Chain A
């Protein structure tokens, strides 16, 4: 019995180890590289000839004393949570809607995926174009009489982050819809038929059947979207460069700008490690939730 169990475990490990080794070799290395770098003082002055030395927590202290960094941290959370909420809600609604058979449902669902399939550089430029002061959004809104003055979208510090949240959600909703749709396919039709016989209402069916059965898939996709959004970088880089005045700067763009624009390599690495540490905590929460889920 015991040996059989042991061989089962080995079997499972054989399935899992190749990927594990692969990821550790490529990313483990990168991670350690960045963590070490974050405790040094590598910058344009100390770069050549390996003149950088270990400076302990100096970089982290510098970051947390910098009001810009604190603002960037706040932006990152606002951006992530807002995008997550919007994308998940609409992703789920669309998935439920399109899981019904009605004329054109398949085609329409397929078409909706375009926004996710465009390269980020194109989506970013497209929206930058549309957000222009005399761009298409302002033109439409003004001709409909909804606004009198053009909205300053990505020009004003007040609206820039919101504009990026809208754009990022536009890109992300189909992705969420896809993951939710896939999740729905695993729910057996029989369960609903049984419920129908019992005379369950629509809401009850959603509340007591769809929601619990969808929970594992939903948890995974929330986790993924959280990670992808929290480490976002490309969209800001293309649309605003983190501006105006850091209002759309997030941890990803800040660490890039430290590393590759200002050659403050260690500060860039420290920023990335903070990003990583926060996601690590989120990862632990996810793990806790899924193991609880799986145990029950």
Chain B
């Protein structure tokens, strides 16, 4: 018996040792930094150098430009080292939620602008109002993006990083073949052109309507073009907006598959010549320009019902709640968000700056025939939220759009149900 017990203990010990070996040996990343989340990075290094963890979801294409700013910051001084870590957009919400419960948050973190209000409410980000006021550059930020980092009382929890909006990309060759030299400007024209250019293997038109924030992002321009808003989803105009899109789909001008298509899927379809006109974001411009598409394309405002409308998107950065290095984190934020850096990053990545003085630094936003249309659109672009329960509001809209697209409900019934859900949340 004792022998057995001894053996078992020995086995357990061996296991512990084996597993212990696999425990993190101080891994250094390719920049030679030790890394960890803020709570377990004690400044072990002999100097007082502060290591700051930064979580972001900036994709491959923009990564070099983003990391360049960080590298420049790290070499510009010897007190602070910023270590960027990619966390996918899907994982990020989960990670922030758990970080908020356990206190394991990064020093600096990125979030999609409509999500930011929820994160403020969950206590993910620090209130940095005082630091921002002392900084004195906040007047340069556009009000739209800035509204997404404020709570109901106007306290500031982060800084906007970049903006984008939706516009219509159109295949010039296809439109010309059908006898149009210009992109359609109204809903009626859009329907007419879409009907003409739709063939057996080409859809005339496409939005992206994957079952997540994408659908809401894409429905907003149509809704707001009718002069209705998120609080009047059961209005005739709002119903009409959904009816219009549903007809585009039912008439075969738009693929039924849009309900599974994200922005990227729609771009691929457009690039392959399977879609003649698509609604998509600013960020697609650089890659479409680089690609050898074999056709000419242009960008135009989204066709209107009563007024010009589009949705503004973008990313924000905040300082993780409970960080020991709030001052240093803000120092980096202020550096990353100075006019020059903001302009450089946005130019390279096909994004629009969030600062007026950054916009003035480069001509691309006023002279580039495509980018300038996007930059102008921010004058009338609508921001989603901000609302702490935005995900639930957004879900109600998504479900209404899908129900109508799939023919499960009429646009009227779908929008009235959505209105009930959304009003209940907004009027809470």
Q: Do chains A and B touch in the complex (CB under 8 A)?
A: yes
Residues in chain A within 8 A of chain B (CB atoms): 7, 10-11, 14, 18, 44-45, 47-49, 128, 132-134, 152, 154-157, 240-245, 259-265
**Contacting pair A261 B93 (CB below 8 A):** yes
Flag B221-258 by CB within 8 Å of A: 1 or 0 each. 00000000000000000000000000000000001110
The residues of A that contact B94 with a CB separation of less than 8 Å are 260
**Contacting pair B121 A44 (CB below 8 A):** yes
With A243-B402, A244-B211 as known contacts, state yes or no: A45 contacts B121, CB within 8 Å: yes
Distance from A87 Cβ to chain B, minimum over Cβ atoms (Å) = 26
B173: interface (CB < 8 Å) = no
The residues of B that contact A18 with a CB separation of less than 8 Å are 8, 12
> Which of B5, B93, B257 is close to A14, meaning CB atoms less than 8 Å apart?
B5
> Which of B1, B201, B395 is close to A262, meaning CB atoms less than 8 Å apart?
B395
From B93, B94, B211, name the one whose CB has the most chain A CB atoms within 10 angstroms: B211
- Tell me, in angstroms, the Cα distance from A60 to B389 when the chains sit together: 21
B35: interface (CB < 8 Å) = no
Distance from B23 Cβ to chain A, minimum over Cβ atoms (Å) = 17
From B255, B259, B403, name the one whose CB has the most chain A CB atoms within 10 angstroms: B259
B52: interface (CB < 8 Å) = no
With A241-B212, A243-B402, A245-B403 as known contacts, state yes or no: A47 contacts B260, CB within 8 Å: no
B97: interface (CB < 8 Å) = yes
B405 and chain A: residue at smallest CB distance? A244
**Contacting pair A157 B408 (CB below 8 A):** yes
Distance from A49 Cβ to chain B, minimum over Cβ atoms (Å) = 8
- Tell me, in angstroms, the Cα distance from A264 to B392 when the chains sit together: 9
- Tell me, in angstroms, the Cα distance from A150 to B232 when the chains sit together: 38
With A44-B388, A245-B403 as known contacts, state yes or no: A155 contacts B93, CB within 8 Å: no
Distance from A108 Cβ to chain B, minimum over Cβ atoms (Å) = 34
Flag B283-322 by CB within 8 Å of A: 1 or 0 each. 0000000000000000000000000000000000000000
The residues of A that contact B85 with a CB separation of less than 8 Å are none
Which positions 362-382 of chain B face chain A at CB distance < 8 Å?
A: none
New A-B pairs, 14, CB < 8 Å, besides A11-B1, A156-B256: A44-B122, A44-B388, A47-B121, A48-B122, A133-B256, A133-B257, A152-B256, A241-B211, A241-B212, A242-B211, A245-B399, A259-B97, A260-B94, A262-B392
